[in-house]
Structure 1
Amino acid sequence: MASIDVASLQKFDVWRTEQMGRKAAHSTINTHNSALNRVLDEAELRGWITGSIRPTLLNKGRKAQKRGAFSLDEYQKIYTDLRTYHEKTFHPGARETREVMRNYVLFLANTGIRHGTEALNLKWSSIAWVKKGDERFLAIYPSGKTGPRLAIARDRTERFLDRQRTMNPALVDKTLDEVIEAKTDDYVFKTRSDERIDYYNLARNFNQYLEENDMKIGQDRLPRTLYSFRHFYVTQDLARGVTSDQLSSQLGNSAQVVDRYYSKLSPLMNAELHSGRAFVKKSIAEDEEVTVVEAVALVAEQPALSAAAAKAFDMFDAGKIGEAALLAALGVSRQGYSATDAVTVRALASVEAGTLAESMLIKIITP
């Protein structure tokens, strides 16, 4: 233990990079350092080393790279193209990989499960039907970097899993319900050759598809990967009004992480709200010929908001100012401040849109 010094740690860093084939991420090195620090703590407690010779652990890992997102139109194009994409190669292995890739992409986009360890290690025994009242829901029990959890898949996921079942020679004569009921101890994503899908072959074929269709880089100038479908899943749920708290347990992330990574997407996801179209309600008669616009009545029901407060909220929702600036613009710290009904309604709308955290809401309405 006493021989561990800075030079030793530098050699270890080189060895780690060689073993991983890439520079370790910042979070990975944090995990390694945490484990090593516990060993050093024990060594110091037992008197094997002293604090003066204990090495300081550094972290020069690469920062996590942001991944691009797919729009709904791009997602629809992808899953439509993947129906026949396997027919565009004569290589047997690539053909089978692309068949699985279609189901895999749809699975990721409809569950929010992490690409890689979580999804590729999934077994049929980790899938179950759960009952709530008279209804049943498809439950997935992935195990990833935050440990095992329960995730509820969108209803359509049943079709993708059933199609994937038919590719497994050992399961082709059983129904999906029978496979789930039997808690079959076999990997979900396997090729027709009964081979577990390979991570690198899967990524290589998907990247090839993106490059062929000029979709590798999005409008945000960020690269897209299979992991982007988790991003897509989150943005779709946030746009539907699902809160970050509700998403956190499904994703295996804290609500704070969801807020931090996805709050900047709010303006686009809630374009109807920011453009004013959310205040226009259309009611179409059975013959689809009569449309009633109730915008005037709806706007009249909303309490008036000062020009400065409205501008501050607009800039905050667009990600142009932070929380401190919003509070300052609203005058929360001023003596005698009291949130008006207009400010409260606008703050609640921002919470519903996913741009404002509940802690900030409380500061605004109860200073």
Structure 2
Amino acid sequence: MSPRKESTHSIIEGELLIALRERSSVWQCRYRVDGVWQRTTTGERDIKKAKETAKKLYLEAQIRKENNYTPITRKFRDVARSVVKRLEKEIEAGQGKASNKDYIIAIDRYLIPILGKYKIDSIDYVALAKLDKARITKMRKEPTKSTLLTHNAALNRVFDLAIEKGYMTQSSRPELKAKGKRSERRIEFTEAEVRAIRGSFEKWIEIARADSKAVRALLRDYVEVLLDTGARPGKELLDLKWAQIEFSIDPILVGKTEAKPTEDNQHGEDIEAYDWQRTVILNIQSGKTGKRKAIGRAATVEALTRIADRNYKLNLPQAIEEKPKEFIFRYKEFLSKRRGNLEKEEPKLVAPTSFVKLFNEYLKSHGLLVDPITGKERQPYSLRHTYATLMLTHDKVSAHTLAKQMGTSISMIEKHYSHLDAVKAIHQLRGEESRQLIKADLGVDKKYEYRGIEKKKKK
């Protein structure tokens, strides 16, 4: 215990005292239970009232101890805020999982607003029932079981800290259950729709205004990588840096053509054809389930090559070597007199705020936003689901291999894709068949042609 100051007044020697903190006019109470000093506020500014309150708190702590309760408790909001600080420190230190951010959102948006005024050791099944009801009202829908599991994990972190600090006992900790509605399988794109998505980008970028071309071009590359790797939309790609890319070429001979002697080929040597098998490994650092490696094939190589060329005038290996600390999915800001940034020598590389709105705009303008069978709107996550569907049905990748690639569990793969009859992988993650099925140059159905109305240019 710290040395006693002039602002400290002993009420029971060695057992109970009150003190003023620096820059505070409210008296704090300190008392000892089983040799451990506890601290709480009296809520009083008058010293006489503070002493009376301190005596009551001390007596209450003794009674609570005799009845096997914690001698001191705290409001739920105070303990929860301490948990948020811990989670933020773990993230800053690089030790926290991606789920830490989900826990912080759950605590700040739902747990503190609904349970904040409760004493941490008084949260019982009645309080949890109130949480369930208020959460549905706040969300305007019934949460899925996955959402409830995340909220329960966050709530358990709060209970863990409360028990650690002695604010509640293990016996007073309520058991948490998750009985939310089953999460629905997201709507995928058909092969014809994927071809339309890939084949319509070039014209859509070409007809854009000058200040929109760069971000549209980046969206195209972002979509290509999502379709080719099954990565989760958002941070998994947007947080990637060039140093986290491994590029390799593994050429194989696919055929020979007999040739007659010519001026360029005087000895008539056979012409050999190679499949260069260019691949990249994405070392994803911000995955929901932790770090992992994901394989990208030709489409990913081409997308990253386009980004490196647009942003640096470098090829892919050069960008990896010369720009290791820079983020990949960035686009050059548009310089113009109207925007007042024309005087800059070099445009900055800008991070996209969100691709969701722009992607929806692209889908809507090509008649691809709404699934014609279910009537539901597609989301960027639909690209991940499309990847899994193609891998299982056409490339015959095993559930185990696909789970590793996508950073999820085998049970989740089997749960959402059991209807696809996945069989043992033949050419794992090479994807020759599916790449041919959705090649953009196979043509785009007329019903998916661009439907936007372009503004007439002023004369």
TM bucket, shorter chain: 0.5 to 0.7
Out of 127, 137, 141, which is 2:283 matched to?
141
Matched, 1:127 2:127: no
8 A contact 1:68–1:220 mirrored in 2: no
Q: Cα offset for 1:352?
A: 4.7
Out of 140, 143, 156, which is 2:299 matched to?
156
Tell which deviates more after alignment, 32-41 or 136-145. 32-41
Query: What pairs up with 1:295-306 in 2 under 5 angstroms?
Result: none
Q: Cα offset for 1:90?
A: 2.6
Query: What pairs up with 1:1-367 in 2 under 5 angstroms?
Result: 1-4=73-76, 10=114, 27-44=146-163, 47-50=166-169, 54=173, 64-90=183-209, 92=211, 94-129=212-247, 137-143=279-285, 144-168=287-311, 171-172=312-313, 174-182=314-322, 184-193=324-333, 194-200=348-354, 202-221=355-374, 222-238=376-392, 239-266=394-421, 351-352=423-424
Give the number of the structure whose alpha-carbon radius of gyration is greater.
Answer: 2
TM-score with structure 1 length normalisation? 0.61
Q: Cα offset for 1:64?
A: 4.4
* One-letter identity of the residue aligned with 2:387: Y
Tell which deviates more after alignment, 46-55 or 3-12. 3-12
Tell which deviates more after alignment, 79-88 or 51-60. 51-60
Distance 1:165 1:240, change over 3 A: same
Aligned-partner SS, 1:241? coil
| Structure 1 equivalent of residue 58 of structure 2 | none
Cα distance in 1, alignment partners of residues 220 and 111 from structure 2: 48
Aligned-partner SS, 1:167? helix
The list of structure 1 runs, each at least 4 consecutive aligned residues, that deviate by more than 4 angstroms after superposition, is 5-9, 11-17, 19-26, 51-65, 130-136, 350-353
8 A contact 2:225–2:299 mirrored in 1: no
Cα distance in 2, alignment partners of residues 124 and 56 from structure 1: 45
Cα distance in 1, alignment partners of residues 155 and 213 from structure 2: 45
Cα distance in 2, alignment partners of residues 243 and 59 from structure 1: 30
* One-letter identity of the residue aligned with 1:264: H
Distance 1:45 1:111, change over 3 A: closer
8 A contact 1:97–1:197 mirrored in 2: no
Aligned-partner SS, 2:332? coil
Q: How many residues align?
A: 266
8 A contact 1:68–1:217 mirrored in 2: no
Q: Deviations over 1:121-149 (max 9, x none)?
A: 11111111258899874111112111111
8 A contact 2:279–2:301 mirrored in 1: no
TM-score with structure 2 length normalisation? 0.50
Q: Deviations over 1:81-131 (max 9, x none)?
A: 111212333361x33221111111111111111111101111111111258
Identity of aligned residues (%): 31
Give the RMSD, CA atoms, in angstroms: 3.8
Q: Cα offset for 1:249?
A: 0.8
Q: Cα offset for 1:229?
A: 1.4
Cα distance in 2, alignment partners of residues 177 and 141 from structure 1: 16
Aligned-partner SS, 1:139? strand
* One-letter identity of the residue aligned with 1:113: A
Q: Deviations over 1:122-177 (max 9, x none)?
A: 11111112588998741111121111111111133211111111221xx22x3211
Q: Cα offset for 1:46?
A: 5.1
Cα distance in 1, alignment partners of residues 362 and 155 from structure 2: 42
Cα distance in 2, alignment partners of residues 66 and 218 from structure 1: 13
Distance 1:226 1:192, change over 3 A: same
Runs of 5+ consecutive residues of structure 1 not aligned to the other structure: 267-349, 354-367
Q: Which has the higher strand share?
A: 2
Q: Cα offset for 1:9?
A: 6.0
Q: Cα offset for 1:247?
A: 0.8
* One-letter identity of the residue aligned with 1:10: I
8 A contact 2:198–2:224 mirrored in 1: yes
Aligned-partner SS, 1:145? coil
Aligned-partner SS, 1:140? strand
Tell which deviates more after alignment, 68-77 or 179-188. 179-188
Q: Deviations over 1:279-315 (max 9, x none)?
A: xxxxxxxxxxxxxxxxxxxxxxxxxxxxxxxxxxxxx
8 A contact 2:228–2:297 mirrored in 1: yes
Aligned-partner SS, 2:350? coil
Distance 1:8 1:156, change over 3 A: closer
| Structure 2 equivalent of residue 327 of structure 1 | none
